[in-house]
Structure 1
Amino acid sequence: MEKVISENWNLDSLYPGGKESNRLNALISGLKQDMAGLQGKIQTLDQSNNLVGFFQEVQEYISAAFELDEFLVCLYAVNVDDPEVTKLIDESEKIKADIESLKIDMDELLARLSDSEWEGLLQHDEVKEYQFYLEERKQKMGDKLPIAMEKLINELSINGFYGWEDYYEQMMGALRIPVEKDGQKEEMSIGQAQSYAMFSSDRSVRQKTARTIIEICEKQADSFATVLNRINGFRLDVYKQRGWDNVLKEAMEQNRIKEQTVQTMVSAIKENRNIVHSFLIRKAQVMNLEKLGWYDTDTPSFTSDNKVSYSEAADIVITQFHKFSDKLGSFAEKAFYEGWIEAEDRKGKMHGGFCAFMPLKKESRIFLTFTGSYQDVVTIAHELGHAYHNYIMQNEPAFTQEISTSVAETASTFAENLVLDAAIEHASNEEDKLSLLEMKILNGLKYQVTVPAMFEFEQKLYEKRKHGPLTADELSDLMESMTKDIYGDVVDEHNKYFWMTIPHFYHTDLAFYNIPYTIGYLFSNGIYALAKEQGDQFPEQYDELLRNSGRMTVEQLAERYLNKDIVEKEFWEASLQPTIEAINDYLELTEKMV
């Protein structure tokens, strides 16, 4: 009997009954109770032998709390209007804040250890597994405020710093854009309206929707400016108290990468920007436009009429994953056939896609809305890449599972490349090939153009914010200057309110949350190039890189597994080539059309 692939995930196999689950409620109650025990125990510890057992308890707690948070995100994603799930998420946020306070106590404990006690701690086999993590935290202690002040900042952040992010999400959730669709007026969320503005085949619809978005954003801009100013101001105040002059310090540490490496990467990107202009000029010509508007830049100039069924999508992904390694292919089969993926196209779901990891159950869950496009197939591959990364790391200590965003995107981008490049190579006609090439180009430009520009915007924003809050007009002018710098005179209408709708600017957990995606994307391109070069010899090496992604800096991973020095520009220039080559192919194939 043939196996059936469902478009709905199975959450009951994790916590039967969802928000009403007795197992889920027991998890929450247990976490609350266990935290009190951990907080009391840490006050009495000071010897390395006692610490090993305590660290094991902390890691078990972190895994349980992480699973709770990820599961609640899954519940929210399938029904964004459920207030009971929102309440549970609030409880999870409090638990996460308690963990951060516990980690601060743990840092103080590490700082108190004598040299001999520290060396003794590192002799334990269990500790050697997460030595990198402990050394990293111990080193950072010298840059922080006294423990009592750090804990106070963390406590005040719940209703201050984090509260502003929550308020931003509420404001975004309440934002409605009136759009005319099929002759009827319809209220859309900002995400839905942006997609409609970008991907409608009728340019007049795109233009009208885009201008409506601008009008609505203009009316709300002052409120959003207040929120952004408070988030940035809070972060700058904390940096000032710690004596940090460099606003990039925290972001570089969180992403385990040197600032010099990132600046080298950004420099390589800027030096290759002209090819982007060539693509956009040709795109405008193909679309019979004198100039592009911001709402045209992501609109495909070529579309395929071919629709892919969900079962066909599964077959494509599984086949291409098996071509890389049987281990990866078998993993994809497990995800499809055991109900790990929520893909049904229906109302009430959250916009976008993600991969959630359940470390206690050692399973992942993937969320997206499948509409039959090849981009959806690529999205499935992307999220399965994340899930495979989770799978490779699932037996590692919880401390080493805390990886940076800069390497978290590695496996997902790698999986994308496996599927998309195969599709381009085997396209049945020129129209389909151009459609797939453009998909690859637009995905690449997101990381090679848009994200680096937003990184530069944030740096300038922080420098200006040091001198006081910025008005909505000042933020909009800064954003408009950045987009004009990217596109030159190729684009004649710009979205100067883009700063309002990029949630990464409002994230409080991570500073400069955009640029790690570019690091991960280009780092993965370098890995993918090596995989094609080495063939069957590479999969085992790839798995080892993923397994150790929580034990090394990005530079160390590159040196160990790629034999590359990524402080040098050569690596980044090579990693830019796949998008550049795709643009050149696009230009060659469309030459006869203009």
Structure 2
Amino acid sequence: MTIDRRPTLSPAHPASASGNQNLGDLPVWKLDDLYPGQTSSEFLGAVQKAGSDALAFETKWKGKLSIALETVGENSLAQALREMDALEDLLGRIASYAGLTYYSDMTNPANGKFFGDIQAKLTDMSARLLFFPLELNRLSNDAVDAAMDRDPALAHFRPWIVDLRKDKPFQLDDRIEQLFLEKSQTGAAAFNRLFDETLASLRFKIGDEEMPLEPTLTMLQDADPAKRKLAAEALSKTFKDNIRVFTLVTNTLAKDKDISDRWRGFEDIADSRHLANRVEREVVDALAEAVREAYPRLSHRYYKMKAKWLGMDQMNFWDRNAPLAETPDRLISWDEAKDMVLSAYGGFAPEMAEIAGRFFDGGWIDAPARPGKAPGAFAHPTVPSAHPYVLVNYLGKPRDVMTLAHELGHGVHQVLAGGQGAMMCQTPLTLAETASVFGEMLTFRALLDKTTDSKERKAMLAQKVEDMINTVVRQIAFYQFERKIHTARKEGELTAEKIGELWLSVQEESLGPAIKISEGYETWWAYIPHFIHSPFYVYAYAFGDCLVNSLYAVYQNADQGFQDKYFELLKAGGTKHHSELLAPFGLDATDPSFWAKGLSMIEGLIDELEALDKAA
């Protein structure tokens, strides 16, 4: 199951589950909607049933799909796919419960053991099911197409089958595939867990106080420059003290990916991600190039303006997300944040607000920051038979409201796509970011429209520009960094110093001359979870932001019918290619001008800020 991990831009400070006097009661999710407990009869029974069902499925169908292809009804390929869909739902529900329990407190050894044990059992079950896609892909395409034309029940799964064929050129012998799968739990999965637990256990000393990652990162947004500097120094010191672990994890996973790519025959280091995202390499290359060409017009230009606003010739790297003097310093309570997001969603479509409201009313959100809790934010779709869950670390800052809007956009998307079933509901990462960024944009525009004070408007616009730079420019810089790391790793193991050099090279290029890169920043690659959990994931954020900018422009100029087309896009899940989904809106991601349109919206907001600045 995919867990979307929001870029760590505005982490939250510690708060108890009951909240504090400024934020109100912060909700904690209710995982008993999945299972009552780790030792409950419901959960243990589900694990036992999953194991027996996986064995029964293997016994019934392995080596028999060619016969099933010629059959209609009980022993048909359509029936096999229905049974596989049900199994995927059951396995996904178990995995979701174990994963969300673990992410609630990653430093609890009992949670780690529970997660590891369940992962091992699920891997064993998945190994029994691995034959199915491999054997199906060995059937003649013409024969399968003819069967789908003949049998409507099989035709229902056409999008999944057509999608599966794209993996065929990179498919290995069954025994090798099984080895890769089973060894993953002692390879990549183990190093992912090492990264997570190491990061969750880190403490950063500021004065006499030792703090976890979240509140330390939050201090980078403090209005006091001295506090921002102290936080940056603490982060740099602790990252440096632990850099050997992060270097080992990075080297190991890069090599692991290189081995897998070589065996499967991928030409480019990012091709496996492009395949998973069902997006063409040329489209991603065009996006990356368009953003890099726009660095001077976007980040370089904006940070030069911000340095002037802060009274500096150059900002220190820790000043990048500092608040402007015009930024209101009051905290936004949880109830206020809820009203802001639901009001914005409702202004677009009542159905969107109704679905998002379920997350608040049903205990589907975990909001307070706690020691050991996963950093940042994410939305986890679980499975169609259940409902999604959202994790945020709520601070009460405007950025946290935007993060909430972002994750609820994912949540709405996941609810709507659930109708496609477990095998076809998951959307490629590029399009998965569409609903989240669109939800953010709706919320921002709704709040901006209510703002009449020019100083407050300037602060809101500046914050939005910074968020867009973080989502587009910063993520493409991350993508370029990953490309450099994985390319260099082919020549041998990388030292921490070499990784730091590569990190600084892309940061200096993307941030521009208005940001002073000083000693200590060379280790800040270490805490980015995307590099570890999902190599090359990051370009999906830039893809989604630029796409939504173009999509929102269509919405602003649409007379009617936009909402219906938008909901059809979300309901499609993983059943359609991005070209099919964007066509009703007159958009084409293969057109080079598409990305220019998306980037022009960011440039337009910077123009507005410049005009406000001159008028002041």
TM superposition score normalised by structure 2 = 0.89
1:143–1:361: structure 2 CA closer, same or farther, 3 Å change rule?
A: closer
Q: 1:38 aligns with which of 44, 57, 62?
A: 57
Amino acid at match of 2:84: V
SS at match of 1:351: coil
Aligned to 2:609: 586
Q: Is the 8 A contact 1:385 1:411 kept in 2?
A: yes
Aligned to 1:577: 600
1:368-397 deviations in Å (ceiling 9; x for gaps): 233332222222221211111112112212
The answer on whether the counterparts of 1:383 and 1:412 sit within 8 Å (CA) in structure 2 is yes
For 1:533 and 1:445, how far apart are their aligned partners in 2?
Answer: 25
CA shift, 1:348, in A, is 5.8
Q: 1:428 to 1:349 in 2, by over 3 A?
A: farther
> Distance in 1 between the 2:273 and 2:35 partners?
39
Structure 1: give runs of 5+ residues left out of the alignment: none
* CA root-mean-square deviation: 2.3
Matched, 1:217 2:239: yes
Give a deviation string over 1:240-297, Cα, whole Å, max 9, x none.
Answer: 2233332121111011111111111122212222222121011111111221111111
Asked if 1:150 is matched to 2:177, the reply is yes
Q: CA deviation at 1:116?
A: 5.7
CA contact (8 A) 1:52 1:121 kept: no
Residue aligned with 2:388, SS: strand
Which of 260, 265, 274 does residue 238 from structure 1 map onto? 260
**Residue of structure 2 aligned with 1:125, choices 152, 168, 193:** 152
In structure 2, distance between residues paired with 1:530 and 1:95: 47
Q: How many residues align?
A: 581
Among candidates 272, 281, 292, match of residue 259 of structure 1: 281
Q: Indicate how the Cα distance of structure 1 residues 175 and 314 shifts in structure 2: closer, same or farther if over 3 A, else same.
A: closer
Q: In structure 1, what is the Cα distance between the partners aligned to 2:266 and 2:395?
A: 47
After superposing the two structures, state which structure 1 stretch, 445-454 or 14-23, moved more: 14-23
Q: Secondary structure of 1:289's partner?
A: coil
**Counterpart for residue 19 of structure 1:** 38
> For 1:165, which of 192, 202, 225 is the aligned residue?
192
Are 2:477 and 1:453 aligned? yes
In the alignment, structure 1 residue 272 sits paired with structure 2 residue 298: no
Q: After superposition, what is the alpha-carbon deviation per residue over 1:109-128, rounded to whole angstroms, capped at 9, x for unaligned? A: 11332456413432332332
Note closer, same or farther for the CA distance 1:92–1:529 as it changes in structure 2 (3 Å cut): farther
- 3-state DSSP class of the match of 2:209? strand
Q: 298, 303, 327: which one pairs with 2:321?
A: 298
Shift of 1:441: 0.8
- Which residue of 74, 83, 93 corresponds with 2:109? 83
Q: What is the alpha-carbon distance in structure 2 between the residues aligned to residue 476 and residue 34 of structure 1? A: 48
- Partner of 1:226 in structure 2? 248
Does the Cα contact within 8 Å between 2:344 and 2:443 map onto a contact in 1? yes
Relative to structure 1, the CA distance from residue 420 to residue 51 in structure 2 (aligned partners, 3 Å threshold; closer, same or farther) is: same
Gapped regions of structure 2 (runs ≥ 5): 1-23
Q: How does 1:53-452 map to 2 (within 5 A)?
A: 53-98=79-124, 101-102=127-128, 104-114=130-140, 117-123=143-149, 124-180=151-207, 185-196=208-219, 198-275=220-297, 276-301=299-324, 302-344=326-368, 349-452=373-476
Q: Distance in 1 between matches of 2:451 and 2:40?
A: 47
In structure 1, distance between residues paired with 2:535 and 2:556 = 34
Q: TM-score, normalised by structure 1?
A: 0.92
Deviation track 1:324-356 (CA, whole Å, cap 9, x = no partner) reads: 112112223333233333334666644322223
* Closer, same or farther: CA 241–339 of 1 in aligned 2, 3 Å: closer
Q: Give, in whole Å, the separation in 2 of the partners of 1:311 and 1:499.
A: 35
Please give the alpha-carbon distance, in whole angstroms, between the structure 1 residues aligned to 2:487 and 2:209. 40
Offset of 1:179 from its aligned partner? 1.4
In structure 1, what is the equivalent of residue 6 of structure 2?
Answer: none
CA distance in 1, matches of 2:286, 2:29: 44
Tell me, in whole angstroms, the C-alpha distance in 1 between the residues paired with 2:121 and 2:545.
32
Q: SS of 2:381's equivalent?
A: strand
2:407–2:436 contact (8 Å) kept in structure 1: yes
Classify 1:234/1:13 alpha carbon distance in 2 versus 1 (closer, same or farther; 3 Å).
closer
Does the residue aligned with 1:383 lie in a helix, a strand or coil? helix
CA contact (8 A) 1:10 1:340 kept: yes
